[in-house]
Homo-oligomer: A and B are copies of this chain.
Amino acid sequence: MKKISLIAILSFVCFSTNAQTKDSISMKRIFNETLLNGNAYQWLYDLTENIGPRLAGSKEAGTAVEWAKQKMIEAGADSVYLEPVMVPHWVRGPKENAYIIEAGGNKQTVQVIALGNSVATPKDGITANIIEVQTFDELEKFGRAMVEGKIVFFNHPFDERFVNTFEAYGEAVQYRWKGPSEAARYGAVGSIVRSMTNAIDDYPHTGSMRYNDSLPKIPCIAISTVGANLLSKIYKANKDVKFFMQTNCEMKDSVLSYNVIGEIRGTEKPKEYVVVGGHLDSWDNCKGAHDDGAGIVQSIQIIKTLKALNMQPKRTIRIIAFMNEENGLRGGRTYADNVGTKNEKHVAAIESDAGGFLPLGFGLNMPKDKKAKIKKWAPLFLNYGIYNFSGEGDGADISALEKHNIPLIGLHVNSQRYFDYHHAASDTIDKVNKRELLLGSAAMGSLAFLLAEYGLN
């Protein structure tokens, strides 16, 4: 028995070494091809500069759908098709207008932007006194007596001590998401939120908010951090400060749009899928280079890379450009619903939606045994600086797949610069480094290929 065991162990070691060597060569090919001949950066230039902002429901989002389909065909996908999705159609209307009115009457214009899904102010705007709070606790302490008839200013800065800026965002974003309704609970007539960013600059950052249907819907805006600091300074010097805000946004009827899907068909198990994607829509005020044009072009690049290398995987790799992540998640939800209806078998889903920055790891949202299988590949990834498999974050578009118990994976990248540009007009192609973008594609392509070769069972 002992002898047999030893032989069994030795064969296993040899097999596993050979597999690792073979996988290591596959990854080297993917990285080399991507870095040498990758088109992702040029595609991103085209998407962001020639199509530009592409909020779900807009004409430009429709153009982007056609664009993504065309790029997947050019990249060599075995099949490309559209998946219909009904999406909300929120429109900003003419640019917002806002200023501070100091106690003496002096007016100071500040840079603001309506939050996504917000209702508009009355046509001529709102003028009201300000009350500044940093937390919901403070708001509650002030209560209706102090808040009624005022505009609540949520001035909650990012906590710079978080090394991962997504943690600072996670802590602060509640004031954007549910701040307006919490302010309305105490009779506020409007809500201002400090932009969700580490940067101190004059770009206002928009983003989604959700009304609590049991409370009045009040108009809400984000103010640039420069504007927030100014408003706070004036307010602290003399609390009798008024604010004027005028927004023109409107929620229209839902419209038909699409997820764009391109496949590399599996040679052995074509009915088992590995999903890789990002979201095609962006906010209407920004070109969405990092959020999430990057994820889209990185994903499409995987088709081009594997086809150029003639590396047809055993299972099907399905590249998805999701629609409507920003203000509804309808693309991701519709895809998940259809997976359920069609009872499709998914090995895993990977998303890149944290910017096209240097890849550092993968967040794994799945049971321990499956995590362990992925972590066995960690030494292969370490050669490319991808060291961190300890996180759990995945991606908003793929999150609805959790209900089918599909293992979810998020590309984890350098987070330091992301919120400087997130949902702001500064999210442009010049903030993207070509090699960082390509490395992210190669990292996801490698993991997708390994998952498609071996599965996770």
Chain A interface residues (CB < 8 Å from chain B): 31-32, 35-36, 160-161, 163, 165, 198, 358, 360, 383-385, 387-388, 414, 416-417, 420, 433-436, 439
Q: How far is the CA of A275 from the CA of B433 in the complex (A)?
A: 33
Q: How far is the CA of A36 from the CA of B158 in the complex (A)?
A: 11
Chain B residues with Cβ under 8 A from A36's Cβ?
160-161
Q: How far is the CA of A25 from the CA of B434 in the complex (A)?
A: 38
Additional 8 contacts, C-beta under 8 A, given A387-B387, A416-B433: A31-B161, A35-B163, A163-B384, A163-B439, A198-B435, A387-B388, A416-B436, A417-B433
Name A414's contact: one of B358, B383, B387, B388 (CB within 8 Å). B358
Is the CB–CB distance between B414 and A160 below 8 Å?
Answer: no
Nearest CB to that of A164 among chain B residues? B385
User: What are 11 A-to-B residue pairs whose CB atoms are below 8 Å?
Assistant: A31-B163, A35-B163, A36-B160, A163-B383, A163-B439, A165-B435, A198-B435, A358-B414, A358-B416, A360-B385, A414-B414
Give the copy number.
2
Q: How far is the CA of A160 from the CA of B434 in the complex (A)?
A: 11
Name A435's contact: one of B35, B360, B416 (CB within 8 Å). B416
Min distance, Cβ A162 to any Cβ of chain B, angstroms: 9
Q: How far is the CA of A436 from the CA of B420 in the complex (A)?
A: 13
Min distance, Cβ A435 to any Cβ of chain B, angstroms: 5
Q: How far is the CA of A383 from the CA of B414 in the complex (A)?
A: 14
Min distance, Cβ A237 to any Cβ of chain B, angstroms: 24
Asked if A163 meets B385 with Cβ closer than 8 Å, knowing A198-B435, A358-B358, A435-B198, the reply is yes
Chain B residues with Cβ under 8 A from A417's Cβ?
433, 436
Q: How far is the CA of A114 from the CA of B160 in the complex (A)?
A: 43
Chain B residues with Cβ under 8 A from A416's Cβ?
358, 433, 435-436, 439
Min distance, Cβ A422 to any Cβ of chain B, angstroms: 14
Min distance, Cβ A202 to any Cβ of chain B, angstroms: 15
Nearest CB to that of A33 among chain B residues? B161
Nearest CB to that of A162 among chain B residues? B35
Q: How far is the CA of A35 from the CA of B35 in the complex (A)?
A: 34
Nearest CB to that of A438 among chain B residues? B160
Chain B residues with Cβ under 8 A from A163's Cβ?
31, 35, 383-385, 439
Min distance, Cβ A438 to any Cβ of chain B, angstroms: 9
Is the CB–CB distance between B198 and A160 below 8 Å?
Answer: no
Q: How far is the CA of A31 from the CA of B164 in the complex (A)?
A: 13
Min distance, Cβ A429 to any Cβ of chain B, angstroms: 14
Chain B residues with Cβ under 8 A from A433's Cβ?
416-417, 420
Is the CB–CB distance between B160 and A435 below 8 Å?
Answer: yes
Is the CB–CB distance between A161 and B35 below 8 Å?
Answer: yes
Nearest CB to that of A435 among chain B residues? B416
Q: How far is the CA of A160 from the CA of B35 in the complex (A)?
A: 6
Is the CB–CB distance between A32 and B161 below 8 Å?
Answer: yes
Chain B residues with Cβ under 8 A from A385's Cβ?
163, 360, 388
**Taking each of A385, A388, A417, which has the highest tally of chain B beta carbons within 10 Å of its own beta carbon?**
A385
Min distance, Cβ A359 to any Cβ of chain B, angstroms: 10
Min distance, Cβ A233 to any Cβ of chain B, angstroms: 19
Chain B residues with Cβ under 8 A from A360's Cβ?
385
Q: How far is the CA of A280 from the CA of B450 in the complex (A)?
A: 47
